[in-house]
Structure 1
Amino acid sequence: MKVVSFLQADQQRLSTCAAEETIESVAKRLSALNIGALPVCGANNALVGVISERDVVRGMAKEGCKLAERRVRDLMTRDVVVCDQTTTMADAEKLMYQKHVRHLPVVDGGRVIGLLSIRDVMAWRIQEAKTELNVLRDIAIVAR
């Protein structure tokens, strides 16, 4: 299955933020949406970074309460691992594992079109296992 097909089937609604937003506003959005990261976008939805809960926690550990007024650009990850819409879920899973990332922006021509999370990969894996189990049951029934 391609990443873009999974995101469409999951009916993902992409949320992004801007590099100029405050950490406080992004933290509130992450909490309200119950998500772990947001792609940071510039003009025309071009990916410029990713801001995650971990970035916020690390920033809080360093700066304390002063962090709330800082900007996303101060904490975001700039060197972002990405995939494109032709990437398979298996390849995305492998990439996330190899690069030690929990969120993988899906880009098309530099524009963000989705964000794959480790939770998405787990859901896909579970569905794959269920499908395989059903196929094996069907084969066992036919073989009787």
Structure 2
Amino acid sequence: MLVCQILKTKAPEVISVTPSQTMAEVLRLFRDNNIGFVVVSRFPGGDCLGTLSERDCCNAVAEHGTKAPIMRVADIMNRTVATCSIEDLLPSVMATMTNRRTRHVLVMDGGATVGVVSIGDVVKHRLDELLNNEQVLYDYIAGTGYH
């Protein structure tokens, strides 16, 4: 399965925050949108400066304690962003997630960010593939599903 096929099943919006926002503001955004990852850019749709995940926020609290919620995104964001292309295959994205120990990969088309693939997306699509394969095998064995 290609990354572009996965993106077709998701909301097209890539949620971003600015480097000057606080971690507390981002955490409210996470809660309100039921997400755990954002792109950091100077303005919506702008160039990616980095990313911020729930894990980054947890690490900031572990390191800075009660000061973390008022810290700026620029001070805690991840600047080494994992990316893939819309034409990459799912196993390649899975390898990137494993090798980089990340749960989110930015999807790029040329120089533009066009989406995010999460580990949840990967699990969903792999499960769908397995269930479909199971049904095809069942139909073959039972001699059904063929005309």
TM-score calculated relative to the size of structure 1 = 0.90
Q: Structure 2, unaligned stretches of length 5 or more?
A: none
Give the counterpart letter for 1:67 in structure 2.
Answer: A
Q: Does 1:27 align with 2:27?
A: yes
Aligned residues: 143
- Once residues 10 and 140 of structure 1 are traced to their aligned partners in structure 2, the CA distance between those partners, rounded to angstroms, is 34
- Once residues 108 and 41 of structure 2 are traced to their aligned partners in structure 1, the CA distance between those partners, rounded to angstroms, is 11
More deviation in 110-119 or 12-21?
Answer: 12-21
More contact order relative to length (CA 8 Å, sep ≥ 6): 1
Alignment of 1:1-144 (within 5 A): 1-42=1-42, 44-142=45-143
More deviation in 39-48 or 111-120?
Answer: 39-48
Task: Please state how far the C-alpha of 1:10 moved relative to its aligned partner.
Answer: 2.7
Where does structure 1 differ by over 6 angstroms across 4 or more consecutive aligned residues? none
- Once residues 128 and 41 of structure 1 are traced to their aligned partners in structure 2, the CA distance between those partners, rounded to angstroms, is 35
Task: Please state how far the C-alpha of 1:14 moved relative to its aligned partner.
Answer: 2.1
Q: Structure 1, unaligned stretches of length 5 or more?
A: none
Query: Alignment RMSD, CA only?
Result: 1.7
Q: SS in structure 1 opposite 2:11?
A: coil
Question: After superposition, what is the alpha-carbon deviation per residue over 1:51-82, rounded to whole angstroms, capped at 9, x for unaligned?
Answer: 01111111112222222221111001101110
